[in-house]
Structure 1
Amino acid sequence: MDHDNMHSVSVAGVILDECGRALLIQRRDNGHWEAPGGILERDEDITSGLLREVREETGLKVEPVALTGVYKNMSRGIVALVFRCHAVGGQLTETDESCAFHWATADEIRALASEAFAVRVLDAMNMGHPPAVRQHDGTHLLGMARSYL
């Protein structure tokens, strides 16, 4: 197997509140604001991984509503599946992975998150559209996807 050609798959949950704001977590390791999520374990199905990652980072139990985008970090070979979710239980709790939470408007998301992570949340907030397919370099969108923000 050629390890240079391997990819990993991550999942993220964009949780919306009754006002249409999205929950961002501040990552403890790098201080970045993002939607909660992470890498799927090899033997884990997509939905189980999404539920686990969101709960580990927020303390919330969520229900996925829709796949809202597929994103590839071209420099690291990570494919991310992002889902719009709504909370069905639990309570926000800081964890080893998150140190703060913010219910953010679209403008706040643009200001707080890097372009590559902001677009994931903005796509999830944009209801009624098919899932987005975008690529980035870890920070910035690449190609035609740049015109979105």
Structure 2
Amino acid sequence: MDQDSRHSVSVAGVIVDDQGRALLIQRRDNGHWEAPGGVLELNEDIVSGLRREVREETGLEIEPEVLTGVYKNMKRGIIALVFRCHVTGGSLVVTDESKAFCWVTADEARALSVQAFAVRVLDALASDGKPAVREHDGDRVVGLSL
């Protein structure tokens, strides 16, 4: 298998507060508003990677509740596993990877984030326990109008 035919796997945590809002971070590298997360390291399990990525980007310790979606970036070959989570510890702080954060409703997520990342938050907030499976091009979800 050549390098171009491989996929990478990322994880993201849609952290939900007791008011039903989701945490978004503003990334330092591109300024986008997204749920915290990133690429799994080769030797780490999914939940450990999720906890590491969220801690690195927010300072928070989390517990995943349910897998809410599987998303494929068709242009870049990235598969993202997204989990609804709740906070178990830590303190919310900006980090080397995030420059701001905010708690948002579904409508606010839709307004702040590009569709490919807003849909992850929307799916997590509306999850009935059955994960969504979607494809996107990095900006727009294939076959979905939000």
SS at match of 1:121: helix
SS in 2 for 1:128: coil
Unaligned runs of 5+ in 2: none
Unaligned 5+ runs, structure 1 = none
Report the counterpart of residue 136 of structure 1 in structure 2.
136
Q: May I ask how many residue pairs the two structures share in their alignment? A: 146
User: Following TM superposition, by how much is the alpha carbon of 1:129 offset from its aligned partner in structure 2, in angstroms?
Assistant: 4.3
What does residue 117 of structure 1 align with?
Answer: 117
Counterpart-to-counterpart distance in 1, 2:30 and 2:3: 27
Cα distance between partner residues in 2 of 1:3 and 1:100 = 35
What does 1:6-21 correspond to in 2, within 5 Å? 6-21=6-21
Aligned-residue offset at 1:100: 0.4
CA distance in 2, matches of 1:113, 1:59: 21
Query: Aligned partners of 1:38, 1:25: CA distance in 2, in Å?
Result: 12
2:65 matched to which residue of 1? 65
Instruction: Give per-residue Cα distances to partners, 1:86-129, cap 9 Å, x unaligned.
Output: 00000101101000010001110000000000000100001324
CA distance in 2, matches of 1:53, 1:4: 25
The whole-number CA distance in structure 2 between the counterparts of 1:43 and 1:115 is 31
**Stretches (4+) displaced over 4 A:** none
Equivalent residue number for residue 76 of structure 1: 76
| Displacement of 1:4 | 1.4
Match of 2:45 in 1: 45
Task: Provide the residue aligned with 1:26 in structure 2.
Answer: 26
**What's the secondary structure of 1:65's corresponding residue?**
strand
Letter in 1 for 2:70: V
Paired AA for residue 62 in structure 2: V
Where does residue 106 of structure 1 map in the other structure?
Answer: 106
Per the normalisation by structure 1, the TM-score is 0.96
Greater mean alpha carbon deviation, residues 44-53 or residues 124-133:
124-133
Counterpart Cα distance in 2 of 1:69 and 1:142? 15
